[in-house]
Each structure stands twice: as C-alpha cells, then as structure tokens.
Amino acid sequence: MDLFAERGFDQTTVADIAARAGLTERTFFRHFTDKREVLFYGGQLLQEVMVAAVAAAPPDATPLAVVAAAVGAVAPAFAERRPGALVRQGIIEAHPELQEREVGKLARLAQAVADGLRQRGVPDPAARLAADAGVAVFRAAFAQWLASADRDMGSLIEECFDELIALAEAGR
Amino acid sequence: MDLFAERGFDQTTVADIAARAGLTERTFFRHFTDKREVLFYGGQLLQEVMVAAVAAAPPDATPLAVVAAAVGAVAPAFAERRPGALVRQGIIEAHPELQEREVGKLARLAQAVADGLRQRGVPDPAARLAADAGVAVFRAAFAQWLASADRDMGSLIEECFDELIALAEAGR
DNA sequence: AGCACTGATGTCAGTCACTGTCATAACCTA
DNA sequence: TAGGTTATGACAGTGACTGACATCAGTGCT
C-alpha cells in the first residue's frame, strides 16, 4: 500500500513489494493470487457477513428487507476506516484494471447474496434483482460515505434504500 | 472466438490468434487492447445506444422511466443472436477474469447512464441508484434470455423492471 | 511521373506478471 | 529423536503487453 501510494500502481513491481516486505517474489504470489489483490485483501469478510445476515433474517421477511438487513450488517466495519479507504479509493480510481477487480468482487458478492435468497425460497429473477439492488445501494452509500466527512455508513445505507424505493414508487 | 471455443481461453495464446488471423502478435494488440477484449468487442455500441436513449427521453420522465427506456432501447440488438451469445457466455463463465471484464464493462455503462441522468438534473445518489438498477434489470433479463429459448429480450426487460418495482413496493 | 504525407503492418528487443518444480529450513507431533 | 507438515527460497520458464524503428501501400498534390 505504501509503495502504491508512493510511486503509483504500475510503477510498483511485485519484486518491489516483495523486497519491501523482506520476502521473495515467489512468496508474494503464495499469499496473494494477484498483484491487484493486495488492495482487496479482506474483502471476503464483507461477503461472509452479508451471507450470514441473509441466512439469519426472519423467515417472513421480504426479499428487499433481507437484503437491507444484510447490507446494514456490514456498516459497523466502516467506522474509523475513512482515512485508509480514501487513499485506497484514490489508487483504485486511477486504474481501470483495479476498478474491474472491485466490481468483480461486488458481482461475486451479489451472486452469493442471490444464492442465499434462493435458499430462502425467493425465485429468479427476483433473487438476482434484489441482490443486485442491495449492491447498488451499498455502492451509492459507500460513495457518499467517502465524499462526505463524518457521515455514518449505517444511516447512509438506510437513506439510499429509501431513495431506491422512492425511485421505484415514482414508477416508470 | 473459434480458437477459444476449440481449446479454451488460457490454452489459446495471442500468437495463436494472430497466426490464425494471418497477422502478427503486435498487430493484434493494435486492434485489441487486451486478449480478453476479443470477447467484448462491440460492447461500446450498447453503451452508446443507452446513453443516446437517456438523452432522448422526454424531459418530464421519471428517472427510472428514463432508465427503462434506455435499457429497452438495446433489446432489438439481441434478436437472432442467441446461438453466438451462448458460446460466448460459456467461455466467460468458465473464467473469472472474463467475468471481471464483463462486469467492468457494465459498471462503465452504469457510470455513463448515471452521468446522463445527472445532466438531466437528477441528483446523487438517485442518479447512481437508478443507473445501477437499470443494469441490474439488464443482467437479470439477459440471464433469462440465455436460459430460455425463444423469449424476446424486450419483454424480458419489461418483466424484470416490473419485478424490481414489485420488490420495492413490497417494502423493507 | 514524382514527391510528401498518412496509416497499417512487420520486426525486434525488452519488461514484468505469474507458474511449476525442487530444495531447504522451521515447526510440530508422536 | 524421527517423521511429517508448512513456509520460504531458488530458478527456470511462459506468455501478455509495450516501445521504437523500419517498411510499404495508398492518397493527394504538383
């Protein structure tokens, strides 16, 4: 992360990273599947929390309510993390390949949530749509959270959910 | 595409592709930024059509209505394309790196649609949410279109939009 | 015809991400 | 202490991708 911030992503070779960490290039690739993966390490935790929340939601809950609970469940993990998240986002936004990885992770997350919904009996395409809607809300809330200082991720998520529902109710 | 279908994506080198095309490897990279890009050639057309539809929508249209019009505008492009789309999807689904590229393209598409909405005066986070919702509908409809023979992309998109609105109205 | 300009291609050398394989050292357990 | 497991190093190799320069066909101008 330090190296990426110092010289930029492509100006940093894996050999550089390994050297800075006092390891071999080969060892780096035993810990990270990818050079990009450095920036997304720990993202799996997000998915696990959300999937668990989907499974733990009350049986009679509406699909969107389940998804809202799942997205809300990850909000606490963002407290106090804004400074680090800002530099990370700065690096990602400067590199399309990194944005690809990011949305790829979110797509896998949506996939997992959709699977969880299907296990609760929600049929397609509703399961897929609800999961994708949840990820959309997460992305919108995350963007707001980065843009505005001192706003709570939890309340931003709630607001974005309300906004989405308002959009839908305005109809087409 | 033939080579990918024959031996698979990673078993096909760029040198193979260039040879089959009667060209040099270097020339390949002058036409495609990437080895993956072969599978996504022409995807920009989708984005152009949708952005144009966003700009062309009536001024008083609701954000979601604008997005629905935009997504609906690309439906005709799918007629008669199912056979090719099926082999393409088969290749993509077998390779996470290709799925990443696919969702990356969709993310850029959503970004462009959101920009179009903002130019129409739709504020954030509504613009972002509506655009992402549109992409979610597209994805769901596309999946159904691939799964079921002889269904029209246009009507699938409409159904998925209705489904999304129903989900939202069921509330949270 | 002769000339300049442009664009597409070839050639070649180079960098770097990533992988397979084997050796080695640290460690844990019976 | 012996034997197995795990983390690391060493090393060679593949293949995607890039930069620099040469070549050549076409096009317009004189």
pLDDT tens-digit profile of A86-115?
A: 999 999 999 999 999 999 999 999 999 999
In chain A, the largest separation of any two C-alpha atoms, in whole Å, equals 58
Q: How far apart are CA A156 and CA A80, in angstroms?
A: 15
| pLDDT value for B172 | 59
Asked whether strand D has any atom less than 7 Å from the CB of A31, the reply is yes
- Summarize pLDDT for B119-149 with one digit per residue, the tens: 999 998 999 999 999 999 999 999 999 999 8
Q: How far apart are CA A57 and CA A62, in angstroms?
A: 10
Whose C1' is closest to the CA of A29: which nucleotide?
C18
DSSP B22: T
Global pTM reads 0.92
CA distances from A158 to A48, A86, A151, B48, B66 (A): 21, 22, 12, 33, 24
Closest-CA residue of chain B to A167: B64
Q: Quick check: B172 and A160 CB within 8 A?
A: no
CA A20 to chain centre: 28
Spatial contact of A133 and A160, defined as CB atoms under 8 Å apart: no
Q: How far apart are CA A86 and CA B96, in angstroms?
A: 27
Count of CB pairs separated by less than 8 Å, A with B: 138
Q: How far apart are CA A152 and CA A156, in angstroms?
A: 6
Q: Quick check: A132 and B143 CB within 8 A?
A: no
Q: Quick check: A126 and B101 CB within 8 A?
A: no
State both tokens at B154: 């246009």
Cis peptide before A125 (omega within 30 of 0): yes
Coil, helix or strand for A142?
Answer: helix
Asked whether strand D has any atom less than 7 Å from the CB of A23, the reply is yes
Q: What are the 10-residue block averages of pLDDT along chain A, 172 residues in total? A: 92 95 95 95 92 96 96 94 93 95 97 97 95 98 94 96 95 66
| pLDDT value for A48 | 95
Query: Where on strand C do bases come within 7 A of a protein Cβ?
Result: 8-13, 16-21
| pLDDT value for B150 | 86
| pLDDT value for A130 | 98
Q: Quick check: B133 and A167 CB within 8 A?
A: yes
Q: Quick check: A172 and B132 CB within 8 A?
A: no
Task: Tally DSSP H helices, then E strands, for chain B.
Answer: 9, 0
| Residue type at position A147 | A
Question: Which chain A positions have a beta carbon within 8 Å of B124's beta carbon?
Answer: 140, 143-144
Spatial contact of B129 and A157, defined as CB atoms under 8 Å apart: no
Under-70 pLDDT residues of chain B = 172
How many CA atoms are closer than 13 Å to the CA of A70, on its beta-carbon side?
35
Distance B20 CA to C1 C1' (A): 40
Distance B158 CA to D16 C1' (A): 42
For residue A52, what is the enclosing H or E element?
Answer: helix A43-56
